[in-house]
Each structure stands twice: as C-alpha cells, then as structure tokens.
Amino acid sequence: REEYYLNKREPERKMEESEDTFNLRHDDWLRKMQNSENKAEVIVAKQRHGPTGSVQVHFEKRFTHFTDLTEST
C-alpha cells in the first residue's frame, strides 16, 4: 500500500531549510497521504485462465477487508 510507504517517509525539517519550504513539502506529503488512504493495489501475477495485471481496491485496515474501489472512496 502506498500509504504504508508514504508514512515511513514523513518529511523532517532540514537544518538549513526555511519554514516555508518545509511547510510546502509537508503539505504535499499530507495531500499524498490523504489521496492514498484506504486504497491498495492487488497484483495478479499468475492466473491459469485469465488476464494478469494489477487492480486498485478499497482497503479497510480495521478488518483487513478488500472491496471494489468506487469513485466516492
């Protein structure tokens, strides 16, 4: 899940970085976190009688439950 990797890369303020620059980077990170929330990618690498590829799905982490991704989620 992209959210997992983004969470590990939360921006930290660099010594010589201005507050405005840091805030821009942090706001960008927050926007990416919100866009990736509750989304996961299922990769179908092998399938006997069908297509392979990846599918974006809705992920409910409280229950480890995957459902179809709709436009509203």
pLDDT in tens, 2-31: 888 888 888 898 889 899 999 999 999 999
pTM: 0.63
* 27, 28, 39, 52 from 21: Cα distances, Å: 10, 11, 29, 42
Predicted confidence at residue 7, as pLDDT, reads 85
Residue 72, pLDDT > 80, answer no
SS3 50: coil
Residue 52, pLDDT > 90, answer yes
